[in-house]
Amino acid sequence: MKDEKKELKNGITLHTINSNKFKTNLLAIFLTTKLNRENVTKNALIPAVLRRGSRNMQTQEEISKQMEEMYGASFDCGLDKTGDNQVLKFYIETINDNFLPQKENLLKKGLQKLIEIVFNPYLENSIFKKQYVEQEKNNMKQKIQAKIDNKASYAAERCIEEMYKNCPFGLYKYGYIEDMDNLNEQNLYSYYQELINSCKVDIFVSGDINESIDKIVEENENIKKLKERNPNYNIPKMEEKEVVENENVVTESMDVSQGKLILGLDVNINNEDLRYNTLIYNSILGGTANSKMFQNVREKAHLAYVASSSYLRYKNNIFVNCGIEIDNYNKALTLIKEQIEDMKNGKFTNEDIENAKKGIIATIQTIEDEQDTEINYYFGQEITKSEISIQEYKEKIEKVGKQEVIDIANKVSINTIYFLKD
């Protein structure tokens, strides 16, 4: 499986992933732009407004009707925070023409409709429709207010906010309620025009493809109108971090029955190849049910209902996540720190390493089993300007030994401890 790339214009790239494994074609457009306080809320609102209607499909109902007429195709959109960028994502999934009673070129239809939704929105008086903008502002306000309802994800988000205070990555991807009052159909549309002519544009086509995708896209009138650009985004880079001498401890009180303890760890590395070693380290520390966190903090000491860790490669961070009895805070924190120190001292086995490798490789092998996962895999390479095949990825994991994991452990330091209690 390979991502065949073609630069249509400077900053606009077409990716074709040809595979006969699937009965569907998955089409995606990703708009990538720098994450900043001024535009974070606007970027969050734009997919919500665009999905409401396009020039030739003026309502959500009409979009749904058109999808239904394409043998039940589906349209979706979303928003990600990738490193110091916001990524606006739009998808259409269609049945592959090989599985239709007669060829109808759903691939071309789907591409044309997706491009129209993203680049030719429904306008009234040459700006966004006021009703759509106001309704989506209210929906977004509710979404932002609701982030507090899921205490585990709220705590994780708050830890990131504290670690990256006054930095782009500390921003909430859906923006801020206080920004909504100043946004209207006119200034949001003006910003949208600026965005689509300055952001990085990636168009992905995944499926069993027997025709010239390049020609379909290049001849599309909406694509022709897009300007050449030097894309306005941040390329994620491995950068050594300044070690925090005194870890930042943040405690917040709320009406909760279970405490949420999050530790934000910095991984002080500047070599892209060391991320494979870090994946093994994280797996042993808290990434699986065999990990030190799960076995020692949850199972043996019974100090946590949840005890895990996750590696955020774009920012070189590991986040330890525990759900605990509030009175067990000090005991749990002490034991978590012990696990981190044990890793530095090599207190883990070769069997731990082999189990970690098996789990990671099993995950890697599933990349090609889901079209959206595969697209995101290749997008990760695109945005980091790196290129590695799935086979090479597995080989790099296989090569990691105990000393390499210990070396990573000794580059890990606690930056922030966040505790949500009653």
3-class SS of residue 283: helix
User: Do 152 and 291 fall within a single domain?
Assistant: no
**Given pLDDT bands bounded at 50, 70 and 90, which one contains residue 397?**
very high
The CATH number linked to 305 is 3.30.830.10
Does residue 314 have a pLDDT over 90? yes
User: Do 311 and 416 fall within a single domain?
Assistant: yes
Does residue 232 have a pLDDT over 80? yes
In this prediction, residues 311-338 reach a mean pLDDT of 96
Q: How many CA atoms lie within 13 A of 277 on its CB side?
A: 22
User: Do 264 and 409 fall within a single domain?
Assistant: yes
User: Do 269 and 417 fall within a single domain?
Assistant: yes
Q: Which percentage of the chain shows pLDDT scores above 90?
A: 90
Please give the C-alpha separations between residue 415 and each of 74, 250, 284, in angstroms, as whole numbers: 42, 11, 20
Whole-number pLDDT of residue 422: 87
User: Do 300 and 375 fall within a single domain?
Assistant: yes
Structural domain span for residue 67 = 3-225
In this prediction, residues 360-368 reach a mean pLDDT of 95
Whole-number pLDDT of residue 85: 97
- Give the DSSP letter string of 302-370: ---SEEEEEEETTTTEEEEEEEE-GGGHHHHHHHHHHHHHHHHTT-S-HHHHHHHHHHHHHHHHTGGGS
* CB atoms closer than 10 angstroms to residue 216: 18
User: Do 277 and 363 fall within a single domain?
Assistant: yes
User: Do 194 and 270 fall within a single domain?
Assistant: no
Q: Which residues contact 289 (CB under 8 A, 6 or more apart)?
A: none
Q: Which residues contact 405 (CB under 8 A, 6 or more apart)?
A: 277, 280, 281, 284, 343, 348, 353
Whole-number pLDDT of residue 334: 97
Does residue 1 have a pLDDT over 70? no
Whole-number pLDDT of residue 211: 74
Q: Which is higher by pLDDT, 100 or 139?
A: 139
**Given pLDDT bands bounded at 50, 70 and 90, which one contains residue 140?**
very high
Question: For residues 79 and 42, is the Cβ–Cβ distance under 8 A?
Answer: no
Candidates 276, 307, 313; CA nearest to 396 is 276
Q: Which percentage of the chain shows pLDDT scores above 70?
A: 100
Whole-number pLDDT of residue 30: 98
Give domain status of residue 342, yes or no.
yes
In this prediction, residues 22-44 reach a mean pLDDT of 97
pLDDT tens across 179-207, in order? 999 999 999 999 999 999 999 999 999 99
Q: Which is higher by pLDDT, 98 or 25?
A: 25
pLDDT tens across 81-124, in order? 999 999 999 999 999 988 888 888 899 999 999 999 999 999 99
Residue with tokens 């720098």: 34
Give CA–CA dist 116/95, Å, rounded: 19
Does residue 160 have a pLDDT over 80? yes
User: Do 12 and 113 fall within a single domain?
Assistant: yes
Tell me how many domains the chain contains: 2
User: Do 162 and 263 fall within a single domain?
Assistant: no
Whole-number pLDDT of residue 210: 76
User: Do 148 and 292 fall within a single domain?
Assistant: no
User: Do 209 and 111 fall within a single domain?
Assistant: yes
Give domain status of residue 304, yes or no.
yes
In this prediction, residues 372-384 reach a mean pLDDT of 96
